[in-house]
Amino acid sequence: MSELTRIPAPDGVAPAAQYSHVVLGTGRFVAVSGQLALDEDGEVVGEGDAAAQARQVFENLRRCLAAAGATFDDVVKLTYFVTDTAHMPAIRAARAEHIPDDRLPAASAVWVAGLVRPECLMEVEAYAVLPG
């Protein structure tokens, strides 16, 4: 696990809600492509079910991070692409299963018209920093 410094509320910036404004780290950079709610056979998990899809997305992120020798503790940035902002509570719940509130990364949420797989409700990408 790399040493990361999280700054949830820099001076003069509104406090962060459910993320950190700034995360500092040194070491090797890991980029994980946006993950959809697909199982290992490429089949959509939880069609129409935001909670099931969010759990699958975070499990896919966990597996991708592990392949790079990283964990969610090393994540410095998450980007959420959602087809409906109503899916954000399900994403936050799935994230909470992997990342405690005192280790929240920087984050962005983007409302999109659609994803490459129309059955998918969300896509999440991650950036992590590992010790040098």
pLDDT digits (tens, 9 = 90+) for 102-127: 999 999 999 999 999 999 999 999 99
pLDDT at 17 over 90: no
Q: What is the Cα–Cα distance from 22 to 32, expressed in whole angstroms?
A: 19
Residue 13 is assigned to a structural domain of this protein: no
Residue 11 is assigned to a structural domain of this protein: no
CATH number of the domain that residue 58 is part of: 3.30.1330.40
Residue 56 is assigned to a structural domain of this protein: yes
Query: H or E stretch including 101?
Result: none
Residue 107 is assigned to a structural domain of this protein: yes
Among residues 99, 114, 105, which one has the least CA distance to residue 36?
Answer: 114
pTM: 0.91
Contact 40, 130 (CB under 8 A): no
Sign of CA dihedral 43, 46, 49, 50: negative
Q: How many domains are there within the chain?
A: 1
pLDDT at 1 over 60: no
| Tens-digit pLDDT profile for residues 22-47 | 998 889 999 999 999 999 999 999 99
Full residue range of the structural domain in which residue 115 is found: 28-130
Among residues 57, 50, 55, which one has the least CA distance to residue 87?
Answer: 50
